[in-house]
Amino acid sequence: MNGKIALTTGASRGIATTLAEQGTICILVSRKKESLDQVVNTIQANGKNTVSIACYVGHIDQINVLFEEVRKKVRSTRYSYR
Protein backbone atom coordinates (compact mmCIF):
# COMPACT_ATOMS: atom_id res chain seq x y z
CA MET A 1 0.00 0.00 0.00
CA ASN A 2 3.07 2.21 -0.16
CA GLY A 3 2.11 5.67 -1.41
CA LYS A 4 -1.61 4.93 -1.60
CA ILE A 5 -4.16 7.13 0.17
CA ALA A 6 -6.78 5.59 2.44
CA LEU A 7 -9.74 7.40 3.94
CA THR A 8 -10.41 5.47 7.12
CA THR A 9 -13.65 5.90 9.05
CA GLY A 10 -13.75 4.89 12.69
CA ALA A 11 -10.04 5.70 12.63
CA SER A 12 -9.73 6.37 16.34
CA ARG A 13 -9.79 2.60 16.83
CA GLY A 14 -6.33 2.05 15.36
CA ILE A 15 -6.63 0.44 11.90
CA ALA A 16 -4.96 3.49 10.38
CA THR A 17 -1.80 2.84 12.40
CA THR A 18 -1.38 -0.50 10.64
CA LEU A 19 -2.05 1.05 7.24
CA ALA A 20 0.45 3.84 7.90
CA GLU A 21 3.12 1.32 8.90
CA GLN A 22 2.68 -0.18 5.42
CA GLY A 23 3.32 3.22 3.80
CA THR A 24 -0.28 4.27 3.24
CA ILE A 25 -1.06 7.98 3.55
CA CYS A 26 -4.04 7.99 5.90
CA ILE A 27 -6.93 10.40 6.10
CA LEU A 28 -8.45 9.61 9.47
CA VAL A 29 -12.16 10.15 10.08
CA SER A 30 -14.00 9.72 13.37
CA ARG A 31 -16.56 11.49 15.50
CA LYS A 32 -14.06 11.77 18.35
CA LYS A 33 -11.48 14.50 17.63
CA GLU A 34 -9.52 13.76 20.80
CA SER A 35 -9.11 10.10 19.87
CA LEU A 36 -8.10 11.06 16.34
CA ASP A 37 -5.41 13.35 17.72
CA GLN A 38 -3.89 10.44 19.65
CA VAL A 39 -3.74 8.26 16.53
CA VAL A 40 -2.31 11.11 14.43
CA ASN A 41 0.40 11.72 17.02
CA THR A 42 1.32 8.02 17.03
CA ILE A 43 1.51 7.84 13.23
CA GLN A 44 3.45 11.08 12.85
CA ALA A 45 5.87 10.06 15.62
CA ASN A 46 6.81 7.16 13.35
CA GLY A 47 7.56 9.56 10.48
CA LYS A 48 4.43 8.80 8.46
CA ASN A 49 2.00 11.20 6.76
CA THR A 50 -1.56 11.55 7.99
CA VAL A 51 -4.36 14.06 8.40
CA SER A 52 -7.53 13.85 10.47
CA ILE A 53 -11.07 15.12 10.10
CA ALA A 54 -13.77 14.87 12.74
CA CYS A 55 -17.03 13.77 11.12
CA TYR A 56 -20.12 11.74 11.92
CA VAL A 57 -20.70 9.76 8.72
CA GLY A 58 -24.28 9.08 9.76
CA HIS A 59 -25.20 12.63 8.69
CA ILE A 60 -25.15 13.42 4.97
CA ASP A 61 -24.38 17.11 5.57
CA GLN A 62 -21.23 16.14 7.46
CA ILE A 63 -20.21 13.76 4.67
CA ASN A 64 -20.39 16.62 2.16
CA VAL A 65 -18.17 18.74 4.41
CA LEU A 66 -15.85 15.76 4.88
CA PHE A 67 -15.15 15.46 1.16
CA GLU A 68 -14.58 19.19 0.81
CA GLU A 69 -12.04 18.95 3.64
CA VAL A 70 -10.41 15.92 2.00
CA ARG A 71 -10.00 17.86 -1.25
CA LYS A 72 -8.42 20.81 0.59
CA LYS A 73 -6.10 18.72 2.74
CA VAL A 74 -4.96 16.46 -0.06
CA ARG A 75 -4.16 19.47 -2.25
CA SER A 76 -2.46 21.38 0.55
CA THR A 77 -0.14 18.49 1.35
CA ARG A 78 0.59 17.92 -2.36
CA TYR A 79 -0.58 14.33 -2.41
CA SER A 80 -2.07 13.18 -5.65
CA TYR A 81 -5.25 11.18 -5.67
CA ARG A 82 -7.70 9.76 -8.19
DSSP secondary structure of 62-79: HHHHHHHHHHHHHHHTT-
More confident residue, 75 or 81: 75
What mean pLDDT, rounded, does the chain reach? 83
Give residue 81's pLDDT. 43
Give the 3-state secondary structure of residue 56.
coil
Q: Alpha-carbon distance 21 to 61, whole Å?
A: 32
Tell me, what's the pLDDT at 62? 92
Residue 5 CB neighbours (<10 A)? 18
Position 78 confidence tier, pLDDT thresholds 50, 70, 90 = low
CA distance 36 to 28: 7
Instruction: Dump pLDDT digits (tens) for 7-26.
Output: 888 887 778 888 888 888 88
**Rounded distance between C-alpha atoms, residue 33 and residue 4, angstroms:** 24
